[in-house]
Amino acid sequence: MTVTQQHQPTPAPTATGATREPATLVARGIGAWFGTNKVLEGISLEMTARRVTALIGPSGCGKSTFLRILNRMHELVPGAAMSGEILLDGIDIYGPSQRPADTRLRIGMVFQKPNPFPAMTVYENVIAGLKLAGIKRHDKDDLVESCLVRAGLWNEVKGRLRDPGGGLSGGQQQRLCIARALAVNPQVLLMDEPCSALDPTSTRRIEETIDEISHEVTIVIVTHNMQQAARVSDHCAFFLAAEGQPGRIVEAGPTDVMFSNPTDPRTLDYVNGRFG
């Protein structure tokens, strides 16, 4: 059911893991199914390079499904299908010459629940993606420090690099996962409710990390916290699904406009907590 066009191959990561520039990600006419159940229809959205785009809307309207389509994780679900295009700097990631593993190096993911590898040390967790991708680095110590600094975690763990990653607090584990994602130099970083399981202090630190890294990687975040969306994002897309109908984008635009003067009254009702 996937609809794609022929495009040139996506460049593979270099053997040294050289830094890539943040990329604009564009969705065109995305539809999604789980078996015969259509969960998304007509989703078109531009997620601008070096900006934070928040996907907001009630539960069950397809935000997380859309996020997983953006780095080809949706197709891992048995019976899942999609239509439309996802363009990474103009190249369709679903093109026939594109390898999913290469796409996921360029478009990383941080999940709702922190998922460090518990048997690995903090140090090993950061570089785990390099090993999986076969990327050789001769400056691993510097890379680990750099990624932990960027994830706002270095000062807390620099004396614990050989301790198990699973021994960190929940907020620290989530920042460790961000460091792990940054180590392979993604152009885009997807975040699926990264603070939903965290306390307010850890949430604030994750938000600070998002702000600190947003100039060097394009970020797309799913959140149900409207205050968080207002704080961290430059642009918002409001998803909504009527009963028995697939999710659609009601409207999208700059965050300040979406929260103060949206074009659709349903958007204003949602961001002000009147439903959802």
138 versus 155: which is more confidently predicted?
A: 155
Identify the helix (H) or strand (E) that includes residue 269. helix 265-271
Using the 8-state DSSP alphabet, how is residue 90 labeled? T
Residue of 45, 43, 53, 55 whose CA lies nearest to 223 = 55
pLDDT at 17: 47
DSSP string across 187-214: SEEEEESTTTTS-HHHHHHHHHHHHHHT
- Residue 3 pLDDT more than 60? no
Q: What is the pTM of this model?
A: 0.90
- Residue 2 pLDDT more than 80? no
For residue 5, name the pLDDT band (cuts at 50, 70, 90): very low
Percent helix, strand, coil in the chain, to 5, is 35, 25, 40
Q: Domain residues of the chain, as ranges? A: 25-271
- Cα separation, 172 vs 127, whole angstroms: 16
Q: Is 101 helix (H, G, I), strand (E, B) or coil?
A: helix
Mean pLDDT score of the chain: 91
Contact 171, 205 (CB under 8 A): yes
Reported as a single tens digit per residue, the pLDDT across 29-59 is 999 999 999 999 999 999 999 999 999 999 9
User: What is 25-271's CATH topology?
Assistant: Rossmann fold (3.40.50)
- Residue 225 pLDDT more than 50? yes
pLDDT at 12: 36
Reported as a single tens digit per residue, the pLDDT across 163-191 is 999 999 999 999 999 999 999 999 999 99
Residue of 49, 96, 59 whose CA lies nearest to 196 = 59
- Cα separation, 90 vs 161, whole angstroms: 39
Rg (CA), the chain: 18
- Residue 122 pLDDT more than 80? yes
16 versus 244: which is more confidently predicted?
A: 244
